[in-house]
Structures are given as structure tokens and as C-alpha cells.
Structure 1
Amino acid sequence: MEARAAPGRKVEPRWVLMGKPDSGVLERVKRELSVPTVVARILINRGVSDGASARRFLRPALDQLFDPFLLTDMQLAVDRIRRAIQAGERIMVYGDYDVDGVTGTSVALRALRRLGADVSFYIPHRIEEGYGISQAGVDEALRRQVGLLISVDCGITANREVEYARELGIDVIVTDHHQPGALPRAVAVVNPKREDCPYPFKELPGVALAFKLADALFRSEGRDAGLLHEDLDLVALGCAADIVPLVDENRVLVKHGLERMLDTRNVGLRALIESVGLGGKPIGTGQVVFMLAPRINAVGRMGSATEAVEMLTTDDLGAARQIAERLEVQNRLRREADDRTLSEALDMVEKEVDLDRDRAVVLASEGWHPGVIGIVASRIVEKVYLPTVLIALDGPRGKGSARSIPGFDLYRALSACQGHLAAFGGHKYAAGLTIERDRIEGFKSAFQQAVKATLSPEDLTPQIVVDEEVSLGQIDDRLVNILRDFAPFGPQNMRPTLASRGVEVVGSPSTVGRNHIRFKARQDGRILDCIGFDMGHLLYRLTPGEPNLDIAYVIEENEWRGKKIVQLRVKDLR
């Protein structure tokens, strides 16, 4: 099913040009790095203002990683795990069903097995148990005669469940990156966001914390870190998929992990890569986010993510390929559910939401799959640029997923509405909630008020941040090669957005695929291919032969018959 276009609220984005850096700093960076002015300006605006910081940014190295023992409670965690291994005590890694949780669980499992631990894992069922440590999960640990439970990407709010485990004689180590409140009474709570944690970088995802725990264990055991570094490809997969800031340590981990993906020794990851047609091809964050991660997420959304962990921890290539095939089937089912839910949600937006007056979208419906409403909420936000909450109703209760826009703290807004909610959790831009059916109308009203009290009309206009204005004639091989070293791209280090004014459209622009536009642009003797995704409605603005078009875009490279071709991916045109 192909989802139709979104109703109403077409908002022209504002172009915001980054500030001009100090001329003295600019000249120093140009001189020290021997780079063009455009590159120097972009680097300075990203906090790179001298040769040393430029080398750290452009050539991330593993020796830039911080000591894992700087994390509060890491020593306690390591000591307890080493005692468990030495005593032959059973350990259970308790993960989460998203890509961060699946890869983090896999990293922890592989490391503990290398250290000789008697270890199993547990991933809660998204529909039956929901997120985080559950009583059912603790009961399963008891059934397995587990003495130590280690959480990955969850547990920071599981105070009651940790207490329940303690009563059953099961020790708990929590590793989590979500925002903490009152800490659970665990043996150790490893979370860089703890107020008392001095760790220099606070934005590590769950998989990176699992890697840090493994690193600390390997150091304590005097083991070769090279064996641990083999799993950096899994760390990169989880980091990129969790949309964490790709700066500092995350940038180092993802950079080195992506390089290892090209020739991964992980048979499960190799099977997954082959199943999407990326075998032997360079893999960037875009391929991770849009091709690899959805397959793992799909099995967690539509059923159980246990198979995904089995795939990433097996040494049997045949078994891994069978699981990868099943993940592909689950992903097709997930896409069908996505499209169906999006179409229904857009119908409801048209009927129930006043896009000129309302400052948020809150929709509830029977029959929606709880595993896909988060994806659909994100797509609604893309279309109407309003904070959005979708609720899948089932009996007297509903499970909701919420997504935000830049400048709006979703978690804070839900906190203001918590009197209407049975439970909620998340962060600034994404959250989940549970709500009684009869409280939905009250929640809608309270959430609308919370948004109105926070967002100005200017906040409800999307922005395109332009790193630099250039002419097409400045886009030469040298510039393209330097910007390639800015990768890996992601939050806080997005692919640089450039703008060119007064370019001329050459030839005949056309629409291709599902509402995309393709055209050629010329300026200063340079002609470049341009593609604008989901911009078919702007085809009328493309008038061939007149140098009157302004475009905002990112530079990309396509490979055709072994040759790399520069293409501009247009973000807006006017």
C-alpha cells in the first residue's frame, strides 16, 4: 500500500546561515590544514579550530577513547562479574529489543563467553512485556538459576524489578544510557548521565556502554584488546541506529566499526549485509540506518528480537543466513504495517486535527501494531512538523509512541502530563507511554497546552541550517575528497549543507520514483546532477535556461560502473 500525501500545513523552511568565524582563526586553520576557505569555515563551526583538533576530527583514533573505569561503579561491576566467572556462577544478560539493545547484548555476550563465563541472554517480548526489566524476566532468571543479571540499554528506572531480583537472591548490574531518576539498588549502576559520574562524554548509547564494560573486563583480566575490537562493527551498527550524537567517542567507535564492517568476521553480520545486497561494498551510516537497522528492528517490533541476537552471536554461517532471511520477511511485514498505519493516521489527521490551530497531533486507534507506531509518528512529524503521539489501543489500555521536533523537550512535556498517564519514559525527542483509554481525551488537552506553552510560531517553522554558501564552480574533486573525511555523518555532525544562489536549470527536469525530482544545474561552467526526494510538488519552480534558482543541498557520490559521480541531494529550492 502506498501512503498518500499528507493533508494541510505546508510550511516553507527557513534557511539559516551559520555565522562567520573570526578572521584570524579562519586564516590560521586554512594555513595549518591547507584547506579551502569553505572547508575551514565548516570545521570552525563544528568546534575544530586548530591543527590538533582537526587531526582528532578527521582521523579519529582508538587511543582517543576514555578509560572505562572513569564511569562511576565500573570497578564494582567488574569485580562482581569476575567473581561470578571464577565461581562458575550463571550470568544472564538482559537486553532490549531495538538495534542498540540487540547489538549491546551481543557485544556483552561475546565478551563474557571469551572470558569463560557461563552466560545466557534474555530479550523481553515487545508486545507481551514491553520495555525494560520485567518481573517475568526476573522470574526467567530464577528459573535458569542465575546469580547475576546484567542489563544492557535498560534498567535505570527498574527500581521495583531490581528489588524483586534482590529478594530472590539475584544480584543486578545496570548498564543504561537513559535519563536516571532515583537509582535502583543494584550492585552497580553504570550510566554516564548519573549526576555523580565524572565520565567526560555523556552521550554513549547502550551498545557503547556494553563495549566499555567489556573493555574494563579485558583490562582487568590482562586480555588482548584486539579480540574485543573485532566487535566494533556491532558497536557501530548500534550507535548509528540509535541516532546518538556522532561526536567524540561515538565518532571514534563508529568510524572504526564501519571500516571493520567491510570485511567483518562476524558471520551473522556478514549474513545480514549480504541479505541486503551490500556484500563487498563500503557501508556508511546511511546504509546502517536505512538498510541494516530496519531488519533488526523489524523482528523486535513484529515479534521477538531473540533471533537477532542469535544471528549476531553464532559462528554458524548457514544458521545466520537462515535467520537473516527470516528478518527480511519480518521487515516486509513491518513495511506493510507501516504503510497501512500511516494511511489511516493521515486520514485521522485530516478529520481530527486543525493544523492551523493545534500545536500537536495526538491520535488513538484500535488495530494499530504497537511495534510500528513510533516509525509512523516520525513520518507524521516529517509531514506536518508538529510533536506527535500515536496510541495503539487494546482493551482498556493503550500503548503510545511520541516523536518531537527540534526545540521541544518531549520528555518534559510528558512529565507535565503524567497525571493522565499510567507510565512513560524516553528522552527529549522520542518517548513511549502507557495510558488508560478513558484518560486519552484529558491527555490530549494537557499535551496541547504543554506544547503551546513552550513553542513559539517560529519554532513551528522547520529550519535548514546552511553551513556555507558556494558557487557550483567551487565543487571540485579536492572539496569532495575533504568533505568525505567528515564522515561518519549523524546527529551533531551531519553531512555539510551548502547553498548556491542563481543557478541555472539545464535540460528538462522530471519527476521520478515516488514523487522525487531530478534535474541538472549549471553555474560558473560546472554542471551537476541534482535529486530532490519527495519534492515533486516543487517541480513548477524549475524553469530551464534562467539563472534564477537558489538551492540548498548536500554533496553525495554515486558509483556507476566503477566510477564515482558527484550528485547534489537537494533539501530545498526556491
Structure 2
Amino acid sequence: GIDVIITDHHEQGESIPKACAVINPKQIGCTYGEELSGVGVAYKFAQALYRSMSQNESELDQHLDLVALGTSADIVPLVGENRIFTKFGLKQISRTTKPGLKSLTFVSGLMGKDISTGQVVFILAPRINALGRLGDAGEAVRLLSTRDERVASEIARKLDSENKRRKEIDRATLQDAMDQMYEVADLENDKAIILAGEGWHQGVIGIVASRLVEKYHLPTVMISITNGVGKGSARSIPGFHLCEALKKCEDLLIKYGGHKYAAGLSIKQENVEEFRKRFLSVSDVSLTSEDILPKLNIDGEIELSSINDELVQSIDNFSPFGPQNTRPVFLTRNCEVVGRPYTVGRNHLRIKIRKGTAIFDVIGYGFGDMVKHISSEGCLVDVVYVVEYNTYNNITKIQIRLKDIKPTVSTLSTGLG
């Protein structure tokens, strides 16, 4: 006897649940046009409620911090309303009065700092998701809704602890998946990766699928099997629509849902091998050899001498950055390596480069293996990068963050891969 209103932002399935109303900008017949996040749809619904009751909509602005948090974490295009919500909401996170957000930024080492979309995606959101992935997602709701500072602090510390445990499970599952992949996959010819494992934690397989997509640039499905039933998470690349691919396999699935780049599914264990064959066949027809080559879009070729505060501040005016509104990527050729490159942390590259009188520190996350190719001082390299401010020990300076690097070749005709 309870009236139900559903808000959603995923691709519409074959059937829509019965409800008083279903609010989803992606449902057939909706002309709204904005690709909102889940929290974005909820926020627009709240605005409509306020408007219908002749209430002051600006009262909702106090919750833009939560809207920005969800919009950034949902990896939706940061254009239109999404960008507006996020731009103003990120500013609120750093000065939020909500006990839950304050405690979360504190345990994350971001208390009082300006927050970027990257910090939401890689630092804050994983902590919120950790309990949902490994235990009770209701705790995350309590964190963000409580008005009790003590309760918020306790939950935030628990989230932080669970996130560390989640990382350990991530690493173990990723290693297990890669070991299996080398046994069952044909990386020379396959245009997708489909892996299934007994006992893989359902809360981390989506993260592991994303890691495999980053490494191999192939659509990836990870399936965790328990008691004869598999639950899977899938991640994709540009040019391959996951939901459309899964629709061609739906007779083998219990259910599925999601959108273009991310989806979930459930499947009987006895159908997994046939699903693997079918999905590989679909990907082989849908993707060309060029589609599965990683592509790096370069916005412009500049000299190191062009990099200064004026440039970085001009770029930052276009923030927040995210899908469809990415930070500009630059190319500079013939840079001289100064000193000896070295690795830090988990396989990150640290080097210093010079061209003319301009000299900059460079960080390359995940580029540690390149040390052996650029190990000699004075060697020349071509670098693709973004420029940004980095603050360390309360000192802020311009940093070059690598997107690609390779030794300069004499012809310069092959470009960067």
C-alpha cells in the first residue's frame, strides 16, 4: 500500500518496474537530454518538488557537496548541468559542515584542501564504496546523513580501515585474474577478456575489470561464482556498447543491466563457457583491430618555455575535469633528461626534463618500467603530458604529469604510441 517513485540513470531495460513514477532521463521517450548521474536525477527531482510546492529551490544548494561527490564518482560526462553541480559542489566539500563529509575528508588527508574530481574518484569514493563492496552499504548512508560528530568519526575510521582491506583483496584478485587470463585467453586474437573464478569477492571484481581494461584496452567481464551462480561486472572501451553486447547473450543470462561502459550481470555456472564464446564472437564482429588500439588524443604541441602560472591558471578555469571535459594534453619533443630517472611508490616514474632554459619535475604514475629506456642523463625524450599545480609540504608548484613518454627518434615520423 506504499506509493513508490523510482529515480534512475541507467539504460532502460526490457521492462520497467511498476511505480507511481519512474524518473530516468534515459528512458524511451524522455527528451531531457542530459546524461545525469544517479544523484543528479535525485537532485533534479528534489528541485521539482520544491518548485511544485512554491518553496525556495536555493535551499537545496547546501547539498551540492553531496551532488558533486556522487556526480564525480559516477564517471558521467562533466558537461552541462553535471559540470555546474560539480564545480560549485566541490568548493563546498572543502568547507562542508556535514559531520560525515568532514570526517571522511579528515581520514583521507584532504581536510580543508581544495578538492578535485580526481580526488573524489580515487580517494573519497573508494572509501565510501568499501563498505558496500565488502559489507553493509547502509553504513555509508549513515555517514553522509548523520548529524552526530562522534558517530561520523567512528564510521569514517571504519570506512578507511575497510578500504585498506579492499585494496588487499583487489591486489590478490587482480593477480589471480591475470594468472587465469594467461591460461584461457588469446591476447593476440581475442577482442575481449572474460574471466570467471570461484570465491572472487563480488565487491572488487568491477575494480579489477577496470584495471584489466586500462592495461589491455579490451572489454572485460569478471564473474564471481558462488553456489553455482555467477555475478559479473563488465567494463568497456570506446566503440563497444556493453548493454547491446549483453543483449545478444541474454538467453544465457539470468539478468543484466547497466550502460555503455559499465554493466552487471548474473549467470548460471553451466552457461559461463558458452557465454564466453558468444561474447568473444560479438566483440570480434563489433570491434576492429584499430578499435582496440589505445588512443591518446593530443590537444597541442608546445615548448616547455610556454608552461607558466598564466597557462595553468587559464587551464584551471575550465575545471572541473572529467569525461568529455578532460584536462588539455600537450606534446613536447626533444626534451633532455636531467639527472637520473628513478621510481617511487608503486612503479611511478620520477624524472626532471629540460629544453632550452626551461626545466621541470615530471611524475609518471605507472610509468616506472620506462626507467630502463631513459636511464642515461642527457638522453632525449618526447613527452605527452598535462600540466597542473601540485602541493606538497605546503609548497605549491607547477607539475608535469605524464600521459606517455619515449626516447626521441631521429625521424620523428612515428609519433607517440
Structure 1 position 235 matched with structure 2 position 67: yes
- For the residue of structure 2 that corresponds to 1:195, the secondary structure is coil
Q: 2:272 is matched with which residue? A: 440
1:148-297 → structure 2 map (5 Å cutoff): 169-181=1-13, 182-199=15-32, 201-297=33-129
Name the residue aligned to 1:362: 194
Q: Which amino acid aligns with 1:382?
A: E
Give the conservation status (yes or no) of the 8 Å contact 2:34–2:81: no
8 A Cα contact 1:504 1:544, kept in partner: no
Bigger shift: residues 441-450 or 381-390: 381-390
* Counterpart among 225, 230, 238 of residue 398 in structure 1: 230
**Matching residue within 492, 495, 504 for 2:327:** 495
Post-superposition CA distance 1:273-308 (Å, at most 9, x none): 111111111111111111110011111111111111
> If the length of structure 1 is used for normalisation, what is the TM-score?
0.69
Deviations 1:384-432 (CA, angstroms, capped at 9, x unpaired) = 2211111111112111111111211111111111111111111111111
Q: Equivalent residue of 1:230, what SS?
A: helix
- 1:449 corresponds, among 267, 281, 287, to 281
Residues 1:481 and 2:313 aligned together: yes
Deviation at 1:225, TM superposition (A): 2.9
Give the aligned partner of residue 252 of structure 2.
420
Once residues 210 and 337 of structure 2 are traced to their aligned partners in structure 1, the CA distance between those partners, rounded to angstroms, is 33
1:69-84 map, 5 Å: none
**Residue in structure 1 matched with residue 212 of structure 2 by the alignment:** 380
- Matched position secondary structure for 2:6: strand
Q: How far did residue 544 of structure 1 move?
A: 4.8
In the aligned structure 2, how far is the partner of 1:546 from the partner of 1:370? 48
Are the aligned partners of 1:377 and 1:390 in contact in 2 as well (CA < 8 Å)?
yes
The Cα offsets for residues 487-540 of structure 1, whole Å up to 9 and x where unpaired, read as 101100111111111111111111222211111111131101111111122123
Contact 2:333–2:383 under 8 Å retained in 1: yes
How far 1:560 sits from its partner (Å)?
3.3
Give the 3-state SS of the residue equivalent to 1:530 in structure 2: strand
Code of the residue aligned with 1:292 in structure 2: it is L
* Shift in alpha-carbon separation, 1:236–1:491, aligned structure 2, 3 A: same
CA–CA distance in 1 between the matches of 2:404 and 2:161?
35
- Residue in 2 that maps onto 1:527: 359
Residues 431-469 of structure 1: CA deviation (Å, up to 9, x unaligned): 111111111111010000000001111111101110111
Separation (CA, whole Å) in 1 of partners of 2:47 and 2:222: 39
Task: Tell me the C-alpha RMSD between the 2 structures.
Answer: 1.4
**Deviation for aligned residue 1:562:** 3.3
2:335/2:381 contact within 8 Å kept = yes
Inter-partner Cα distance in structure 1 for 2:44 and 2:350: 45
Cα deviation for residue 188 of structure 1 reads 1.4
Unaligned runs of 5+ in 2: 407-417
Secondary structure of the structure 1 residue equivalent to 2:292: coil
Q: Is the 8 A contact 2:34 2:80 kept in 1?
A: no
- 2:374 is the alignment partner of 1:539: no
Match of 1:469 in 2: 301
Q: Using the alignment, how far apart are the partners of 1:561 and 1:371 within structure 2?
A: 35
CA distance in 2, matches of 1:203, 1:390: 26
| Cα distance in 1, alignment partners of residues 264 and 26 from structure 2 | 20
**Deviation string for 1:149-205 (max 9, x for gaps)?**
xxxxxxxxxxxxxxxxxxxx2322111111114443321121112332232x32011
Contact persistence 1:471–1:524 (CA under 8 A): no
Deviation per residue, 1:358-400 (Å, 9 max, x gap): 2211111111111111111111111222111111111121111
Distance in 1 between residues matched to 2:95 and 2:18, nearest whole Å: 42
> Which amino acid in 2 is paired with 1:525?
T
* Structure 1 counterpart SS, 2:296: strand
Do the aligned partners of 2:309 and 2:398 also contact (CA within 8 Å) in 1?
Answer: no
Q: Distance in 2 between matches of 1:465 and 1:395?
A: 45
Give, in whole Å, the separation in 1 of the partners of 2:372 and 2:232: 39
Deviations 1:62-120 (A, max 9, x none): xxxxxxxxxxxxxxxxxxxxxxxxxxxxxxxxxxxxxxxxxxxxxxxxxxxxxxxxxxx
Which stretches in structure 1 are left out of the alignment for 5+ residues?
A: 1-168
Q: Report how many aligned residue pairs link the two structures.
A: 405
Offset at 1:545?
5.4
What is the distance in 1 between the residues matched to 2:95 and 2:54? 27
Q: Larger Cα Rg: Structure 1 or Structure 2?
A: 1
How many angstroms apart in 2 are the aligned matches of 1:215 and 1:425?
Answer: 28
Report what 2:292 is aligned to.
460
Shift of 1:543: 5.6
**Residue number in structure 2 paired with 1:299:** 131
